[in-house]
Structure 1
Amino acid sequence: MTDTLIVIALLLTATAATAAALTRDPVRQAVVLALLGLSLAVLFTVLQAPDVALSQLGVGSAITPLLILLTVRKVNRRETQPQEGDDDRPDRAE
């Protein structure tokens, strides 16, 4: 029974890692990364490493995706705001 659980957890982790690598949209990638962190936490629990599983759950499933989402939001906000000194007039060479 234990071997079956390990194989299932490994397949779940491999699937989530592949999905995270193939996802191009950063927001969706953050969600898939959170699922990858959750599947790794399950794998560590099955492998009887609860302290590592708790660390992975906190960092890999919560903090890292949150930081990615905040970074994407900040970058998108900067792209939509006009920069100082930008105007609609083309430069005139005299």
Structure 2
Amino acid sequence: ARREAEADKPRRLGRLKYQAPDIDVQLSSELTDSLRTLKPEGNILRDRFKSFQRRNMIEPRERAKFKRKYKVKLVEKRAFREIHCHQMPETCPSIKNPF
């Protein structure tokens, strides 16, 4: 009996263990009267990905963390700078003091 239960489980391919996804269920208040007007629930791509993992075609993975290679440069547009400098000329370094 134990061997049959283990045969149904997906094998461990990578360092992570397969985790079954949560089932997408709609509440009774969200259900409609007919099946035609019923909105689809869930994500097809995620379902296929989990199916591949369950059938041992790909190993379970963690989501890759996005890391920037370089720092983001902040650039002030010229039009904005001109408007800002005309409103407060004493604080703007690009306008020379005529006095």
Structure-2-length-normalised TM-score: 0.25
Structure with max Cα Rg: 2
Bigger fraction of residues in helix: 1
Structure-1-length-normalised TM-score: 0.26
